[in-house]
Chain A
Amino acid sequence: MNVQTPGGVASLASALALAALVMGAMPARAQQRIERGARATADATIRIYNLSGATTVTGWDRDSVALVGTLEPGAGRLYIGGTGPAIKLGVESPSGDGAPRAARLEVRVPRGSVVWVKAADASIEVDGVEGGLDLYSVTGAIRVRGAPETVRAESMEGGITLDVRAPWARVKTASGRIQLAGEIGDLAATTVSGAIRVAASRQARARIESVTGPVVVSGRPSRGGAWEIETHSGSVTLELAPETDAEIAVHTFGGDVRADLGRVVSRRQDDLSGSELHIVAGTGGTSIAVRTFKGAVTVGVRS
């Protein structure tokens, strides 16, 4: 580049200005990766806010919280505060009406922590946390694995998947799909229009409710368990293992009923009260009560 002429000086100045602009702009466009940490007690209470993107929480065997955040430009400010028994972290979105930008948070917490996570469209994934979990999203998916003490998971439209061994779980969606597996002592799953699928195993008490969403329960419920399933118009399908021992009471006002499992011990039908069916599979022992207003009910053997 010739710098001896006035034109050359101008060209150099322009090039430098352009380079400065490009260099200045580059960090603003690139994702920002931030690592933070805090001391925490083994049973710390941890509150996490991340509206958009993804939040992953993993339990580990250390008395500390480690946070790795990857923020899109404009996602806001990553913060972490508190220490010991109470820690709060997340992404503080900038003010304004624009949609929040995505942030990906990977958080490691003491295994015995109590964790609360709030999201909008961000997904929430929790693995290996053994304290209580309270997880809320609007459209983001929620997935939990491990053995938490309690789980409360709510999403308006995001799907919720639990594969856990937990004494207590409450799961709720408006239209999000619910998928449950593992061993949950006391389970309640509720939806308006989403589908619910439960792999039955050692649930001692389960209550499943939907308005229009279909419900499928598959597997072999453990002896002594009590299941209550109620829908308005959502279909209910029990796909039970052939060796299932259960007493199944079905009542529907207007839905079709089909039963291919066990022996029917009573059946009643009339125009006002609808159909009632009482089935015993194997030696009984597990109580399953199904009630719908007009949802079809199928009781069958899992193929």
Chain B
Amino acid sequence: MSEARGAGCTETAERLDAFVEGGLEGPERERVASHLETCADCRAEVEGLTALLAAASELPREIRSPRDLWAGIDARLEGETVSRRVIPALRVAGLPRWALAAAALALVVVTAAVSSVLTRRWDEAMALKLQRGGDAAATAPAARPDPPLDAEEARFLAASRDLVAGLERQDLTPETMAIVRRNLAVIDAAIAELHRALRKDPGNGDLTRMLLATYQRKIDLLEQAARAGEG
């Protein structure tokens, strides 16, 4: 995106993620849509993001978390005569468990892949810094290339979209939903700040890694909320 773009572009760019994810409503959505009609750059950005989201939706969804204590407990309890009734206050309504599970599994795929990238980069960068001691050059970028931001980001967006859709169909209490919304707003504000910083310095691998780590926290929060809603 060009630095020379106008204030309308800057304002819109901060909302494009939410626009593509379907998270904007009413006048806010209309403002972005209206801007897109007149701005080819922003339209191109939306098209690119939409295409990435579509590609990300093809991710495999059949990996289980390596440590799922509940699965073990459930198996051991299978056949017991204990009531399996779901507690009403937190029951899952209108959403098949397989759908939640599918979203969670997609999440595990994304989480595992990106965590691996982030952890590796963090470890390498810190190892280099600590090994090289006082050498200012020790802060040079890690040996491996930066992860492709757009693709990684698109995967996170797809996973968070699935989880948000799942949460909307769960019968979470208003108090729980308020906690989720409050903290999502905190994370989204951080993501917007990191986007702005990356626009100033697009090649900064540390910022890229921080952005992806912040997306990871968003996914973690949504996943945690989904677990809170399970009976």
The residues of A with any CB-CB pair to B shorter than 8 Å are 45, 47, 49, 51, 79, 81-82, 85-86, 88, 92-97, 99-100, 114, 116, 120, 132, 134, 136, 138-139, 152, 154, 156-157, 172, 174-175, 190, 192-193, 209, 211-212, 228, 230, 232-233, 247, 249, 251, 253, 265-266, 268, 272-273, 276, 278, 280, 287, 289, 291, 293-294
Contact = CB atoms under 8 A, between A and B. Distances in A.
A232 B214 contact: yes
Interface in B80-104: 80-83, 85, 87-90
Interface of B: 69-70, 72-73, 76-77, 80-83, 85, 87-90, 122, 126, 129-130, 133-136, 138-139, 173, 175-176, 179-180, 182-183, 186-187, 190, 193-194, 197, 200-201, 204, 206-207, 210, 213-214, 217, 220-221, 224-225, 227-228
Contacts, number: 161
Given A81-B83, A156-B180, A93 B89 contact: yes
Most buried by B among A49, A139, A174, A228: A174
In the A-B complex, the 5 residue pairs with the smallest Cβ-Cβ separation, listed nearest first, are A81-B82, A86-B76, A265-B134, A232-B190, A192-B183
A86 B217 contact: no
A120 B173 contact: yes
A116 B210 CA distance: 33
A228 B122 contact: yes
Contacts of B173: 120, 138
A211 B227 contact: no
A100 to B, nearest CB: 5
Given A92-B85, A156-B176, A291 B73 contact: no
B133 A266 contact: yes
Nearest to B72: A45
A85 B129 CA distance: 50
Contacts of A152: 69
Contact of A266 (B82, B138, B186, B187): B138
Given A136-B228, A212-B186, 7 more contacts: A86-B73, A174-B183, A211-B186, A211-B187, A230-B210, A268-B136, A278-B129
A293 B190 contact: yes
Contacts of B225: 156, 174
Contact of A273 (B130, B186, B206): B206
A130 to B, nearest CB: 15
B139 A268 contact: yes
A192 B82 contact: no
Given A265-B133, A266-B134, A120 B77 contact: no
Contacts of B134: 265-266, 278
A250 to B, nearest CB: 10
